[in-house]
Amino acid sequence: MSVEASPGEGPSRFSQARAGVRGFFTLDRLRRSGILIPFVALFVLLTLTSEPFATKVNLLNILDQQSAILIIAAAGTLVLVAGGIDLSVGATYSLAAVVSAHYALETDPVVAMLLGVGAGLLVGLVNGFVSTVLRINSLIATLAMAFIVGGCASLITEGSLLVLFDVPEFGKLAGTEWIGVKTSIWIMAAAVVVIGLLLARTTAGRYMYAAGGNAEAARLAGVRVNGVRMLAFVLSGTAAGLAGVIDTSRVLSAQAGQADTALAFTVLAGIVVGGTSILGGDGAVWRTVVGVLFIALIGNGYVLLGLDPLYEQITMGAILLAAVGIDVWTRQRQP
């Protein structure tokens, strides 16, 4: 038998408020916004120890380098929140890169860019279809799709590096400066804000939380769980496509199959370090952004301070374990 709290009584209100203060440093709080604390600490530490760190050039450089990962991770957050996982983003990123590069050599650069993003959207559609309608676990489904998509990318390049130095217009997408900031960063910022608002403010976003939090309850409340998950996968694929095109524009070359898996896991690490639950139903895009940047700062710090990069990987692994651990432990404590 549950005891009902008596409402509106002075003492209970008071104790509730006190519990709120005491509960500020709880594990749950740590998971929800705790990522800010180590992020700020690391930022301050690097500012104090490394002169070149807190310069406009270095910080914009980090954002430029991370723009692709940030776009993919923002959309990937939606997939995780909706109760799925997308391991194919690395391969999709590669496919979009080589598709856009391939067509940039043949047709108009704008058409080539659209085709690249479209390839990503298509992969997202297939991922969504396989993991909802065909009910194949999304971990396995997208892992398999990663192989298929990666293979398709290799077919297009036939193993060679596609170089776009003869198509300099392609570089304008990411490399144009506006108010002193590159368009790669502007596009990333716009994509992240749109995806973030989608999750936080729209019915679709609300349904994603419901589908990931309790799929059966969501379905009985009239949520089209499959449709919502499909949307998340399509956005994830499209985002990976956009990211691939942006990076191709940044470096004016594209190659299939390089570091596909590493990218997928870097993205996932950023999302999880940010505090989005791998079990679904909880997370936020802004946290993912902080998580990805936190990992980027660690990499940047190792370079600037001249530390042995071997330890960077070990640090990364430990942080990831801690992030997942906090998620699982706090879940168990919930009623």
Partner 1 sequence: MAHLELQGVSKQFGGVRALDDVSLAVAGGTVHAIVGENGAGKSTLGRIVAGVLSADGGRVLLDGAPASFRSPRYALEHGVAAIAQEPSLVPELTVAENVYLGSEPRRLGFIRRRRLRRAYAELAKRAGFDLPGQARAATLRTAEQQKAEILRALSRDARIIVMDEPSAALSAPETAQLHEIIRTLAGHGTTILLISHFLREVLDLADTVTVLRDGKLVRTAPASEETEASLVEAMLGRPLTTTFPEKRPPDADAPLALSVRDLVAPGVADVSFDVREGEIVGIAGLVGAGRSELARAVFGANRMKAGETRLASGRAVGKSPRRSLDSGVAMIPESRKDQGLIFGRSVIENVTLAELAELSTLGVVRRRAERRSATGILDRCDVRGASYSAPVGALSGGNQQKVLFARMLLGEPRVLLADEPTRGVDVGAKRAIYELLVSLAESGMAIVLISSELEEIIGLAHRVLVMRAGRLVAELEGDAMTEAAILAAAFADRSAGGVAA
Residues forming the site for partner 1 (CB under 8 A) = 1-7, 201-204, 206-207, 209-210, 213-214, 216-224, 281-282, 334-335
Record the tokens describing residue 15, joined without a space.
């104790």
> Do 160 and 102 touch, CB atoms closer than 8 A?
no
Shortest Cβ 235–partner 1 spacing (Å): 14
* Angle, alpha carbons 130-131-136 (nearest 5°): 90
For partner 1, the closer of residues 6 and 306 by Cβ is 6
For partner 1, the closer of residues 172 and 201 by Cβ is 201
CA pair distance 230, 208, nearest whole angstrom: 10
For partner 1, the closer of residues 3 and 57 by Cβ is 3
Shortest Cβ 330–partner 1 spacing (Å): 10
> Do 192 and 72 touch, CB atoms closer than 8 A?
no
CA pair distance 216, 225, nearest whole angstrom: 9
CA pair distance 147, 144, nearest whole angstrom: 5
For partner 1, the closer of residues 7 and 306 by Cβ is 7
> Do 254 and 16 touch, CB atoms closer than 8 A?
no
For partner 1, the closer of residues 45 and 279 by Cβ is 279
Shortest Cβ 1–partner 1 spacing (Å): 4
Shortest Cβ 246–partner 1 spacing (Å): 26
Measured in residues, the chain has a length of 335
Backbone angles phi, psi at 252, to 5 degrees: 55, 35
Q: Which runs of consecutive H residues, i.e. helices, occur in 26-158?
A: 27-33, 36-49, 56-81, 89-104, 109-132, 138-157
Shortest Cβ 197–partner 1 spacing (Å): 8
For partner 1, the closer of residues 88 and 277 by Cβ is 277
Shortest Cβ 71–partner 1 spacing (Å): 21
